[in-house]
Amino acid sequence: GGDHVRLGSAWRMSELHAAVGLVQLRRLDEFVATRRRAATLYDEALAAVPGLRPVIPPPGSETNYYKYMALLDDGIERVQVKEQLRLRHGVTLSGEVYAVPLHRQPVFATYDRGPFPVAEDVCRRQVCLPVHSDMTEAEASHVVGALHAVLDEGAGAGA
């Protein structure tokens, strides 16, 4: 899946990709504003969702919300929560920042493997909520409602 087996440096893009990127840059402020609106809704609404804590950017910082990350409480199984959200509510949580910590990636196998308890903990408990450049308030509210339903019912509670 997402294992890193070697370091790479293929940062080149085709002329076509560069042209599309230049056109999209004209709308960057709009895209980021939409993501920030969704994140604000998440920040406010998720305070009432048991078992989940949003990762709030530090004061004085800004983010474009490429990802909206939250941490599940200890004892809640991420795989089960994701499965229940998808099956029962049509909500897909995908794209964890790193499901496997970097120090455990094959590319770093010859280096010291730890301990890195914070990295292990964050990777185990993180979820990334859907956020995209044309996300509506209704879509974000649906995600929050689905999370509330699944976590209220104890889905994902470890044995």
Paired residues of 127 in beta bridges: 70
Instruction: Encode pLDDT of 33-59 as tens digits.
Output: 999 999 999 999 998 899 999 999 999
Helix (H) or strand (E) holding 34: helix 28-45
Homologous superfamily, domain 28-152: Aspartate Aminotransferase, domain 1 (3.90.1150.10)
CB 87 within 8 A of CB 156: no
Q: Which residue has the tokens 């939250």?
A: 70
159: pLDDT strictly greater than 50: no
Rg (CA), the chain: 18
Cα 50 → chain centroid: 18
Instruction: Encode pLDDT of 147-157 as tens digits.
Output: 999 998 876 66
Give the pLDDT confidence score for residue 156 in this predicted structure. 62
pTM here? Answer: 0.83
Give the pLDDT confidence score for residue 158 in this predicted structure. 61
Q: How many angstroms separate the CA atoms of 101 and 115, rounded?
A: 11
